[in-house]
Amino acid sequence: MADAVVEFLLENLKQLLLYNADLISDLKDQINSLYRELSLMNAFLKDSKEKRSEYEYVRELVRQIRDVAYEAEDTIDAFIVNAAMHKERSTLNKFTHGLEYATKLRAVAKDIEAIKKKVKDIYDNKMFGIEALYTVETSNKSSSQRRKPMVEEDNVVGFDEEAKQIVSRLTNISESLEVVSVVGMGGLGKTTLAKKVYCDPAIEVCFPRLQPTRKHAYKLNEEMLVEEICKHLNGRRYLIVVDDVWTPEAWDDLKMAFPNQDCGSRILLTTRNTDVAKLANPDSTPHYLRFLNEDESWELLSTKVFRRGSCPSELVELGQTIARKCYGLPLAIVVVAGLLLKKDKTRDLWKKVAESVSSYVARDPKQCLDVLAPSYKHLPDHLKVCFIYFGAFPEDFEIPVWKLLMLWVAEGFIQQKGQDCLEDLAEEYLEDLVERNLILVAAKRSNGRIKTCRVHDMLRDLCLREAAEEKFLQVIKGNLQDPNSLISSGNYHRRLCVHSHVMNFIHSKPCGPHVRSFLCFPLEEKELSREHTSFIYEAFKLVRVLDIKYINISRFPVEITQLVHLRYISLSGNFKVLPPSISKLWSLQSLIIETTSRDLDIQVDIWKMSQFRHLRTSGPSHLHGPQAKTRMDNEDPFVQRNIQTISTVSPDSCTENVLARTPNLKKLGIRGKLIVLMEEKKGSSLFDNLAKLDNLEKLKLLNDTFPRPPSEGKLRGLPPLYKFPPHLNKLTLSDTLLDWKHMSTIGMLPYLEVLKLKVYAFKGPKWEPLDGGFRMLKVFQLGKTDLKEWMASAHHFPRLEHIVLEQCTDLLAIPHGLADVSALQTMKLYHTPSVIKSARLIEQQKKRQQKQQRHMGSNEFKLSIYPPE
């Protein structure tokens, strides 16, 4: 983690020198010098990575480097705040503030020189220490054999069906060598399942036991061992179990030992990394080991605690709660069962455990956290920081992916690589963590991408343990007894996350000069009174990330405009205006505002904010273009190429002066009277400006005619095809009340993959799509409508994968011809009972088709009905 701290500081220094040269002109030489010194430290950190687990001396050096880097960051960031204040106030009283500025400048220069000396001392001294360590004999190193967790030693509940499936795959008739992979999070019982399969009678019949020919294999080097195994297996039918493979590189090294001679041999591989499984056998789907359900969890817990006995009736309900709070992870269940087994089985104890299961499990790190820890240790540095950041969120919290990605970017975790979009890189990092079975997907978007995610409580505890060790973040769940503990000597925690008693925390007047991120997740929405809105500036002057969305603020806290390092702001309240003073926040990337006001006037001049990326507001917001009149070309200083998101703005904000200045915009949400957007004036309309958005992927058009009824704002039609953004792949419409004939325009959008028609987007009793449309459409969602007849065949939607119908109570049937769409995978019906019969017929036909095509690997069709029949 120190690696990441220094990397981020170096990147921040680079950005500082690039974007704030005017503020640091008097310290530029010192900062450049510090940058060079820290670059040397960074090189040492990379060289010492492999030795940290072996030598305490190296670990101590790494901790010192981390703290020096934190100290350097604090010193420079504090100087920037003072320099910005001096710049703003100097026009008022140049003499007084000039003396004050000079004094602070000398102090900062002195601090930087002291830090540089610390860096030099560490760098000079570490060489002697490392060389001395290399003389220590390997035999003197302390080693401790990891205690096997109980879940690996015993069969657990729920594996019978899993074992049958794997045995079936291992004993199929194929003669070529096949790898069957079992993939899952640490602690799910992959090794236990592998043992159960290995000992199955069908396996013993199919694969003869092989006896090793050499007793001293440990004396062989790697190449000799591979050669010996390959020779021993040559010409034989074998089953090899390869347990817990961590990386694709490890598999590449192992596979050379296993000859393929078309005699029906098999390899059973277990791994926590899906990429390893896919590499081992690209042509076969891995077996994803599932979590236990609630009944299985309780059965396992009661079996472990009471052995052959039964649970007393007064403990059953509490026991079921304990089992449920282990969230289906056998390792956690076994660990907590071991604790309950050793204690008196009293109702009071079980109640305490039920109230905080994860904390009781964490009391035995050898049995749980240390088993999960290798999943973290094997991560590359850029994923380590992303993973432990999940500790910032409360237990069981479903994290919106859009929010997580913005936070990662604002925190500096995502470093620029060429021309890649930072948010796209961040999404790749998240998918990598999911592939490694560290993060769970809570919900997916209609296009298959992750919508919300969460982390298992046991892994969250691992995040918190590592975060505390690295001074990465601090979580406050109760009353803060001593608010000044935040500024105690050596407390460099950079992130402060409050999960409960938020108002008590605020009223305690905390002070955290090292805090860079302040996030609140109260159990329920709280109201912050006017007199306390200044607490943020008073407490956290160097903060970069401010997320207090779950606190309702009575007035916009203008004090935050003095927090010059802010990159991410998320607020909620009854705001009617976002003041122009926010424009002073030159580092701001994301501005997220929830307001109960019907209209929001955004007076922020985002066109002067070079780092700005995302604007998200809850209601119709008026966004102004730049006031200065300039020609719009490559030299236009107000063109902002970083902006990715603008939502939700009013139709009259969609002027050329706004949209032409956001050439890389990917998401646009428009809410208000859409007639204003569509109506022609002097041969053109505001909608015409959307055609200039070559990179726009997602467009929402929400017709909000409040206080008049939607019928008074009905759209007469849609603009011609050429006026739509050229690369649009997702379109959402609501309350537009269009006639179904206008679907022909939407159907011809060449890249459209997702179409969501919300409440009365279209109106009329009959819809028959035209031929040649919707060539790329994969997802179709239809909300409340008066549609009765939907007439369509497979050729109208050749690539359709998912259908969602919600409150379509007048619809008589789903077109049966859609059963012939080979790509169709899911159909979800919400409160649409009138089409259930036709949906069942489609389901039956799809299953018949898939039964015939099963050898071709077709996806299984799934029909979901809510509420259930």
CB atoms within 10 A of CB 42: 19
Query: Do 113 and 221 fall into the same domain?
Result: no
Query: Do 325 and 340 fall into the same domain?
Result: yes
Cα(260)–Cα(311) distance, integer angstroms: 52
Of 333, 361, 389, the last residue of a domain is 361
Query: Do 130 and 158 fall into the same domain?
Result: no
At residue 777, the 3 state secondary structure works out as: coil
Q: Which of 618, 631, 586, 619 is nearest to 604 (CA)?
A: 586
Query: Do 156 and 246 fall into the same domain?
Result: yes
Of 83, 113, 140, the last residue of a domain is 140
At residue 590, the 3 state secondary structure works out as: strand
Residues 383, 433: contact at Cβ < 8 Å?
A: yes
Q: Which residues contact 470 (CB under 8 A, 6 or more apart)?
A: 1, 2, 5, 66, 388
At residue 188, the 3 state secondary structure works out as: coil
Please name every residue paired with 517 in a beta bridge, in sequence order, or none if there are none: 495, 545
Cα(152)–Cα(727) distance, integer angstroms: 51
Query: At 652, which amino acid appears?
Result: D
Cα(659)–Cα(686) distance, integer angstroms: 10
Cα(298)–Cα(319) distance, integer angstroms: 7
Query: Do 35 and 129 fall into the same domain?
Result: yes
Q: What is the DSSP string of 442-471?
A: EEE-TTSSEEEEE--HHHHHHHHHHHHHTT
Using DSSP bridges, classify how beta strands 440-444 and 287-288 pair: parallel, antiparallel or unpaired: unpaired
Low-confidence stretches of the chain (pLDDT beneath 70): 1-2, 16-21, 24, 48-55, 57, 89-102, 104-105, 108, 119, 123, 125-156, 212-218, 364-367, 478-492, 628-635, 853-859
Query: Do 409 and 327 fall into the same domain?
Result: no
Give domain status of residue 10, yes or no. Answer: yes
Q: Which residues contact 227 (CB under 8 A, 6 or more apart)?
A: none
What the block records as the tokens of 485 is 């503990």
- Output the pLDDT for position 777: 97
Angle between helices 422-435 and 401-411 (to 10 degrees): 110
Q: Which of 437, 426, 384 is nearest to 401 (CA)?
A: 426
Q: Which of 519, 541, 378 is nearest to 462 (CA)?
A: 378
Query: Do 263 and 334 fall into the same domain?
Result: no
Of 328, 361, 394, the last residue of a domain is 361
Please name every residue paired with 527 in a beta bridge, in sequence order, or none if there are none: 552
Cα(364)–Cα(370) distance, integer angstroms: 9
CATH code of 357's domain: 1.10.8
What the block records as the tokens of 307 is 């052995």
Q: Which residue has the tokens 């490392």?
A: 130
CATH code of 425's domain: 1.10.10.10
Give domain status of residue 711, yes or no. Answer: no
**Residue range 718-761, pLDDT digits in tens:** 999 999 999 999 999 999 999 999 999 999 999 999 999 999 99
Give domain status of residue 126, yes or no. Answer: yes
- Output the pLDDT for position 635: 60
Residues 621, 599: contact at Cβ < 8 Å?
A: yes
Length of the chain: 869
- Output the pLDDT for position 371: 83
- Output the pLDDT for position 729: 96
Q: Which of 697, 589, 690 is nearest to 640 (CA)?
A: 589
Q: Which residues contact 68 (CB under 8 A, 6 or more apart)?
A: 41, 115, 118, 119, 122
- Output the pLDDT for position 383: 92
CB atoms within 10 A of CB 667: 17
Q: Which residues contact 594 (CB under 8 A, 6 or more apart)?
A: 549, 571, 572, 573, 617, 618
Give domain status of residue 407, yes or no. Answer: yes
- Output the pLDDT for position 128: 42
What the block records as the tokens of 7 is 């990397």
Residues 496, 512: contact at Cβ < 8 Å?
A: yes
Cα(365)–Cα(468) distance, integer angstroms: 15
Domain of residue 47 covers 2-140
Give domain status of residue 756, yes or no. Answer: no
Rounded to whole angstroms, what are the CA distances from 766 to 741, 762, 785, 790, 791? 10, 10, 11, 6, 8
Q: Which residue has the tokens 């009944």?
A: 295
Query: Do 50 and 112 fall into the same domain?
Result: yes
- Output the pLDDT for position 270: 95
Q: What is the DSSP string of 645-674?
A: EEEEE-GGG--HHHHTT-TT--EEEEEE-H
- Output the pLDDT for position 836: 96
Give domain status of residue 12, yes or no. Answer: yes
Query: Do 184 and 204 fall into the same domain?
Result: yes
Cα(762)–Cα(739) distance, integer angstroms: 6
Query: Do 350 and 430 fall into the same domain?
Result: no
The structural domain count of the chain equals: 4
Burial class (CB in 10 A: 0-12, 13-18, 19+), 525: exposed
Query: Do 275 and 306 fall into the same domain?
Result: no
Residues 479, 501: contact at Cβ < 8 Å?
A: yes
Residues 569, 588: contact at Cβ < 8 Å?
A: yes
Cα(387)–Cα(609) distance, integer angstroms: 30
Three-state SS for 268-291 is EEEECCHHHHHHHCCCCCCEECCC
What percent of the chain is helix, strand and coil (3-state, nearest 5)? 45, 15, 40
Cα(551)–Cα(344) distance, integer angstroms: 43
* CA 306 to mean position of chain CA atoms: 40
Query: Do 220 and 280 fall into the same domain?
Result: yes
Q: Which residues contact 102 (CB under 8 A, 6 or more apart)?
A: none
What the block records as the tokens of 492 is 């460099």
Q: Which helix (H) or strand (E) holds 341?
A: helix 330-342
- Output the pLDDT for position 480: 57
Give domain status of residue 825, yes or no. Answer: no
Q: Which of 209, 214, 241 is nearest to 227 (CA)?
A: 214
Give domain status of residue 128, yes or no. Answer: yes
